[in-house]
Structure 1
Amino acid sequence: MAGEILWPVALGIKLVYAGAIMGGGVTASGAFWSLVAALVLGLLPGVFRPERQPWVRFGMNVAVSALLFADLLYFRYFGRPMSIYALLQVNNLGGLGGSLESLWSWREWVVWADVPAAYVFARRSCRRPKPSIPALQAVFFGLVAAAAVGGIWALMAVRTAPAEAPAAFSGGESRPAVGRGAVQRYGPLGHHVVDALAILREGEAAANPQALEEIAAWFRRHDPELRDSFDNPWRGWAQGMNLVLIQVESLHNFVLDLDIEGIPVTPNLRRLREHALYFPHFYPQTIEGNSSDAELLSQTSLYPAARGAAFYRFAGAAYPSLAKKLRAQGYAVLAVHGDRASYWNRAKMYPGLGLEPFVSLEHLEADEIIGMGLSDRSLFRQTAERLTRTPEPFYAFVITLSSHLPFELPEEERTLPLPPELDGTIVGRYLESIHYVDRALGEFIAALNQAGLAERTLIALYGDHDGLLWHKDRDAIEAAFGGPIDFEAWVRTYQPVPFLIYHPRLAGETVATIGGEVDIAPTLSNLLGLPASAWAGQAMGRSLLAPTPSYAVLPGGDYAEPAFIDPDGIRPALPAWAEEALRVADLIHLTRYVERTIEEGAGAGDDRSERREP
């Protein structure tokens, strides 16, 4: 009998506990629905034969504990509850071992605390005489009474999230409450129910015959902004040049001006900046696809899918892309990355982006491994060697890896002297990793110079997303650099990632225009002489080489809270037109808009060049 009563009680405690962590505190609604879920699950074993009920109860306990453990671990890593689409990305876990282990704490293991006792109760229950029907009825009504009392308690004794935390997006007409907002309203299990219902609604939206016209209408309104942004003095400045676009793992903008013990953290990036167009007010716009979302943004000028990673959900779909447009201008194209081709499903997604051939770890000499894959030093060295053999003009997309969490380098590569208060901390390890990447980048630039490619090559560089995160590293940054950091200060100082466009003939210029990763492809196209019409009806960004408009939309996701930034300030609530843009972007992915309209209409099929081996 004890097992029958303790099972829903323990479950209710675990659900409220997990909801408090993921929701930022206990809420009345979240606690109530967690207790209701505990009651329902507590009664479910009753539909089985009496001799099976103890083990059904134990199996459900293990399953719920495993789900909550995964939820909490995912939340600790990304700062948002796990979605169903995250399960599509389970292949990524193979390369994240060190990252995940660095995040485990006793808080995640609490949800397993009752499992040993549950096992003991299950074994003992199988040996006891089964309770009579009246006894079972007493248990049932006792559980109902406990749930009622718990619900009343939850409504009266409420602890809300800390006041200084940014408000969770609670939804509106354009997007339902998801993530933390759903946990606050419905509890952890309710969040997964809401998540599943949202997936069903996505299918309905994609099947709506008006969706394609809604997308086309949005582009008709946006295209004048795109066209006007291309009308600037920089148009065609780099026409005919090679292009190397580098996506740097976890690179914040603030490190470019940071000295530690009198030594610059990024001396080579500082030198590049002296001959670069530098955009300091530039923001990551990833959602749940993280690095892969950054790649999608930079290549297609489309906002990512609202849920999950487009690289998994829409692998094989064709997209308009910078690579395709440059290939049409006679460019040779290649992508280089020091991880497995299967990571983030790149092997299946890159053909639809025109990024072929794709030179992954399988096609590189694995002569030096750091963290998750090939060291950035080896990656840059081998990339430079390949570029000397690549026909010009070429477009090379290079994705680095060595500065990935948990930011651990071999001892001989830790060349940044750290003061005792930083040594061994998450901030200290991060700065060491970025210092290493900066050194590898300097060697790459030197190799291009030695090969005689520098004068004919435009080098653009940006950070994919933040490495130090608001929801888990703010205290460490405050301790490292002094002073409290509120949400606005975080977004203004620590959220931006750098965007630089380097050429030795450029005079260093800081561009004040506010923008984000969705603007990379139009900006580079503008410099390379492609007309705005090449992106009409396709790009959601614009060229940042024009001073206006100046803004960035942060959709909110695994690494950031939603925000809108323009010259008037930083606002956590997105304006209605920005919400509409994100909803339209999601429709573009869901409806495969490009395949069904742009490429089919042009008679181009999937617009891919013949595949070449690396």
Structure 2
Amino acid sequence: MDWGKRIEKPNAHIIRMMTVFVITLLVKMMILHWIMGVRLYFIQAAIMNLMTLTGLFLLFIYFFPKNYFKAFWWMHLLVSGLIFVNTVYYSHFFTLVPVGSVFQIGQLGGVSDSIFALLRPIYFLYFADTIYLRFWIKKKSKLYHSWYYDKKNRRNGIYAIAFMVLMSFMVGAINLVALSTEGNLRPANLGMINYHIYDTFRLTRPAPIVDPDQAEEAVIAIEEEEKDRRFEGLLEGRNIIVIQAESLQSFPMEHALADQEVTPVLNDLIRQDTLYFSNFYEQVGWGNTSDAEFVVHNGFYPSTSTFSYQAYEGNDFYTLPMHLEKQGYTSIVFHGNDPEFWSRQSAYPGQGIHHFYSAEDFEMNEIIGLGLSDYELYKQSIQWLKEKPEPFYAFYITLTCHHPFVMPEPYQWLDMPAEYEDTYLGHYLQSVYYMDQQIGYFINLLKEEGLYDHSAIVIYGDHQGVDMRNQEINEQVSRYISRPYQEDEMFRVPLMVHVPGSGVEEEITLAGGQIDFFPTMANLAGNPLAPDAVLGQDLLNIKEGFVAKQVHVSAGSFIDNEKIFIMSPEGLYDNSQSWNLKTGEQVPLEEARQGYERALAEITLSEYVMENNLIPRVQKAGLSGILDNIRFLLDLEK
């Protein structure tokens, strides 16, 4: 290109037109930022997104000199659609849509009821100016036909130069944000467009190298176990039946509704022959339910970019079903939904699952919400369960208690007080009660078929169903539980191991998470894992529990036996919160620094292991061996 001939004075009409498109998009983006609670970085995010939007439109002018006005409008429509989608997504998940969700487009049909429940007519106003601009373009094209359609229009290098200058400023601004937040780039400090660009970069970059010294402290903490093992082999030789209970949180078990127990069956279970983990927390990622099963079976954290079965497709794993297979167990999964939902059918062989019964195998004669009702799931599966050689590991994924939680009227069995009638919490409690009753029905089926006495029944909640960040819902739950509804309560889900005839009755109160399920179950089955084989801990043989959180709160957030720490959404440590779990009193942030660093180290180490397919090496050398390899690689770079 002859830049001397191609650098010309910019066309004033084009610049004015571009300004209209950019400013209207920026205003809508700022509305979204305000809805998201962006305050501290509100102005900075607006300026950075203004630069990015302007840069994108300059590129369109440069690359489409003869049709830039069409490109402008399509760009406006695309970004308006992105703002619309993010607003809907934020109303439920309280973050922006991850770029990795492109892999989840095939899942949308299965959750259409949940999506429609989130739509609000006002959201469609995001497209009002886009429609108007379409007519405005036509009007302008008639007034300035000569320069809109001049075939002699050619690329003007001044726009490319302006783009490069803007992007240089943009990179500098993002680096300043990264410096001020210790590298914690979040939607609340980057804004919508820039966060999506950053998220795209994260999706394609190699796994980050973990600081081996910092990670070693985390591994040492994980390895600390009691010398005298408790409950080792309690389940040995028994069938193990696991129920992953959709959206089940702990608070409905602990609070009656107008003198009605919401979970009478579960409450009866924890009173007899049961180990009950009362401070157990969900640790799901973008895959929600599918990530819950991934975490409990693998003992590593879920992907931070997309659902884990997609992110780690083709990896080699060592899972709980594989571990139990060494003791003669056959592993079975029952799920009354499309077998490819969350890529389960293609992922399960690599997870050590021998048999998978899905919507293709069940008679789909009662659909509630996403799929087969819990009642039919248990009723139809019992025949297959009877036919399996023992011992077996049976994993049930329930569906009925799913957002938006509106049960058919014949199944609304709770007498709902007027204050909760037709509310989100009221619908949720009705769904939980239905789930509880069907678990009772399933236990009776096991007794009738002679499977109950020599089985263990394990039940845990997969993830939260009632989000405390929704103000209306928060007020409802706070009133129901008679205390502020905060993150520690939102993330707390039950875990119980019911062992008929064992005489074991104990409540384990230390903090634990889904990542601890694999080592805990391995111990109960009589074949404990090496302490550094996974990132989870055997909750029956440690003193200090630790739960790292990611994705749905800022990375670095954690819960231990005494406190919870929630990293600020802006990524600033000093703006974070920490409080005592028992008293609710604020904890000085410096007391949480060590836990914050451990949480980041564990998550980064997990990501490094998974993205580099290092599970076989972990099985041979342990996590300490992985850290030794990292040190070796870092020494080579020096």
- Which interval holds the TM-score relative to the shorter structure? 0.7 to 0.9
Post-superposition CA distance 1:30-69 (Å, at most 9, x none): 0111222232244344336665232221111111111222
Structure 1 counterpart of 2:429: 431
**Which of 468, 482, 489 is equivalent to 1:493?**
489
SS at match of 2:420: coil
Structure 2 counterpart of 1:572: 566
In structure 1, list runs of 5 or more residues that go unmatched: 156-169, 602-614
**Which of 22, 25, 31 is equivalent to 1:8?**
22
Aligned residues: 558
Structure 2 counterpart of 1:585: 606
Contact 1:242/1:395 (8 A) holds in 2: yes
**Aligned equivalents of 1:383, 1:230: Cα separation in 2:** 41
Post-superposition CA distance 1:517-561 (Å, at most 9, x none): 11111111111111333xx543111111125122322x2323788
**Which of 275, 279, 301 is equivalent to 2:277?**
279
**Aligned equivalents of 1:560, 1:579: Cα separation in 2:** 10
1:238 and 2:235 aligned = yes
Post-superposition CA distance 1:63-108 (Å, at most 9, x none): 1111222222222221111121111111111111110111112453
Structure 2 counterpart of 1:24: 38
Contact 2:459/2:496 (8 A) holds in 1: yes
Contact 1:235/1:526 (8 A) holds in 2: yes
Cα 1:599–1:352, aligned 2, differ >3 Å: closer, same or farther? farther
Letter in 2 for 1:509: E
SS at match of 2:453: helix
Contact 1:466/1:495 (8 A) holds in 2: yes
Structure 2 counterpart of 1:604: none
Contact 1:230/1:532 (8 A) holds in 2: no
Report the CA distance between 1:381 and its aligned residue.
Answer: 1.4
Cα 1:218–1:334, aligned 2, differ >3 Å: closer, same or farther? farther
1:530 and 2:544 aligned = no
**Which of 369, 372, 384 is equivalent to 2:370?**
372
Structure 2 counterpart of 1:160: none
**Aligned equivalents of 2:347, 2:533: Cα separation in 1:** 18
1:452 and 2:459 aligned = no
Structure 2 counterpart of 1:187: 191
Letter in 2 for 1:297: V
Contact 1:18/1:72 (8 A) holds in 2: yes
Report the CA distance between 1:315 and its aligned residue.
Answer: 2.1
**Aligned equivalents of 1:175, 1:306: Cα separation in 2:** 18
Report the CA distance between 1:233 and its aligned residue.
Answer: 3.0
Report the CA distance between 1:115 and its aligned residue.
Answer: 1.1
**Which of 113, 122, 127 is equivalent to 1:112?**
127
**Aligned equivalents of 1:376, 1:255: Cα separation in 2:** 19
Cα 1:531–1:78, aligned 2, differ >3 Å: closer, same or farther? same
Report the CA distance between 1:564 and its aligned residue.
Answer: 2.0
Structure 2 counterpart of 1:158: none
SS at match of 2:419: coil
1:224 and 2:199 aligned = no
Cα 1:54–1:194, aligned 2, differ >3 Å: closer, same or farther? same
Cα 1:418–1:24, aligned 2, differ >3 Å: closer, same or farther? farther
Letter in 2 for 1:177: N
**Aligned equivalents of 1:229, 1:312: Cα separation in 2:** 37
Letter in 1 for 2:558: F
**Aligned equivalents of 2:369, 2:340: Cα separation in 1:** 17
Letter in 1 for 2:356: F
Report the CA distance between 1:596 and its aligned residue.
Answer: 5.7
Contact 2:555/2:599 (8 A) holds in 1: no
Most deviating of 583-592 and 77-86? 77-86
Structure 1 counterpart of 2:52: 37
1:289 and 2:287 aligned = yes
**Aligned equivalents of 2:227, 2:78: Cα separation in 1:** 55
**Aligned equivalents of 2:143, 2:481: Cα separation in 1:** 59
Contact 2:454/2:500 (8 A) holds in 1: no
Letter in 2 for 1:557: V
**Aligned equivalents of 2:270, 2:369: Cα separation in 1:** 28
**Aligned equivalents of 2:564, 2:385: Cα separation in 1:** 41
SS at match of 1:458: strand
1:512 and 2:485 aligned = no
1:177 and 2:175 aligned = no
Structure 1 counterpart of 2:139: 124
**Aligned equivalents of 1:392, 1:483: Cα separation in 2:** 44
Q: TM-score when scaled to structure 2?
A: 0.81
Most deviating of 1-10 and 329-338? 1-10
**Aligned equivalents of 1:19, 1:481: Cα separation in 2:** 27
Report the CA distance between 1:379 and its aligned residue.
Answer: 0.6
Q: TM-score when scaled to structure 1?
A: 0.84
Identity of aligned residues (%): 27
SS at match of 2:243: strand
1:386 and 2:380 aligned = no
1:269 and 2:266 aligned = yes
Cα 1:175–1:538, aligned 2, differ >3 Å: closer, same or farther? farther
In structure 2, list runs of 5 or more residues that go unmatched: 1-12, 568-594, 623-638
Post-superposition CA distance 1:195-233 (Å, at most 9, x none): 122234335x4xx7x99x9999689646632xx258433
1:326 and 2:324 aligned = yes
Cα 1:75–1:230, aligned 2, differ >3 Å: closer, same or farther? farther
RMSD: 3.2
1:311 and 2:309 aligned = yes
**Aligned equivalents of 2:178, 2:71: Cα separation in 1:** 37
Cα 1:35–1:219, aligned 2, differ >3 Å: closer, same or farther? closer
Cα 1:271–1:117, aligned 2, differ >3 Å: closer, same or farther? same
SS at match of 2:395: strand
Report the CA distance between 1:28 and its aligned residue.
Answer: 1.8
Report the CA distance between 1:370 and its aligned residue.
Answer: 0.5
1:57 and 2:72 aligned = yes
Report the CA distance between 1:416 and its aligned residue.
Answer: 1.1
**Aligned equivalents of 1:586, 1:215: Cα separation in 2:** 15
**Which of 233, 244, 257 is equivalent to 1:260?**
257
**Aligned equivalents of 2:554, 2:397: Cα separation in 1:** 21
1:539 and 2:534 aligned = yes
Structure 1 counterpart of 2:296: 298
Most deviating of 22-31 and 516-525? 22-31
Contact 2:114/2:403 (8 A) holds in 1: yes
Cα 1:270–1:220, aligned 2, differ >3 Å: closer, same or farther? closer
SS at match of 2:306: coil
